[in-house]
Amino acid sequence: MSNPQQLRYTKEHEWLSTAEDGVATVGITEFAANALGDVVYAQLPAVGDTVTAGETCGELESTKSVSDLYSPVTGEVVASNQDVVDDPSLVNSAPFEGGWLFKVRVAGEPEELLSADEYTAFSAG
């Protein structure tokens, strides 16, 4: 699997896109999706919620487990992916694309995010 170069990553296995007009997209990595197994339920932050970098903002549930979703960035949620709520398997089939989770109007520069290469090394270790 390959982690897109243009994204940045957390050690909790979320990815964050580069902000466009101040809005960045958040999802989980293919590595995380594979580790979870089939995602069957996604509880995402609602539009208007404030999320804080490093804090939980939702949960992803798979056949065998439930995982907290951490926000990689602080800001206001401006969109959450209804397609994933309706069909959580999108997180498995397209974690970097159609399986995105929510969009945030970034209030503060996130710290300690990993580059694609750094994350690849981290998740392999």
Partner 1 sequence: MSTAPRLTALDALHRSLGATMTDFAGWDMPLRYASERDEHVAVRTKAGLFDLSHMGEITVTGPQAVDLLDFALVGNISTVGNGRARYTMICQEDGGILDDLIVYRLAETEYMVVANASNAQIVLDALVARSGGFDAEVRDDRDAYALIAVQGPESPGILKSITDADLDGLKYYAGLPGTVAGVPALIARTGYTGEDGFELFLKPEHAEGVWKALTEAGEGVGLIPCGLSCRDTLRLEAGMPLYGHELTTALTPFDAGLGRVVKFEKPGDFVGRKALEAAAERAETAPPRKLVGLIAEGRRVPRAGFSVVKDGVVIGEVTSGAPSPTLGRPIAIAYVDAAHAAPGTEGVGVDIRGTHEPYEVVALPFYKRQK
List residues near partner 1 by CB under 8 A.
34, 37-38, 40-41, 43, 61, 63-64, 66, 89, 92
Spatial separation of the C-alpha atoms in residues 11 and 119, rounded to whole Å = 8
Nearest to 79 by CA among 105, 53, 43: 105
**The 66-70 sheet, strands edge to edge:** 39-43, 56-62, 66-70
Query: Rounded to the nearest whole angstrom, what is the least distance from the CB of residue 41 to partner 1 in the complex?
Result: 4
**Which CB atom, from 23 or from 40, has the smaller least distance to partner 1?**
40
Decide whether 6 or 63 has the Cβ nearer to partner 1: 63
Smallest separation (angstroms) from partner 1 to the CB of 106:
29
Closest CB to partner 1 among 40 and 78?
40
Of 43 and 107, nearer to partner 1 (C-beta) is 43
The beta strands (E) that lie in the chain are given as 8-9, 14-16, 23-28, 39-43, 50-51, 56-62, 66-70, 74-80, 102-108
Nearest distance from residue 91's CB to partner 1, in Å?
12
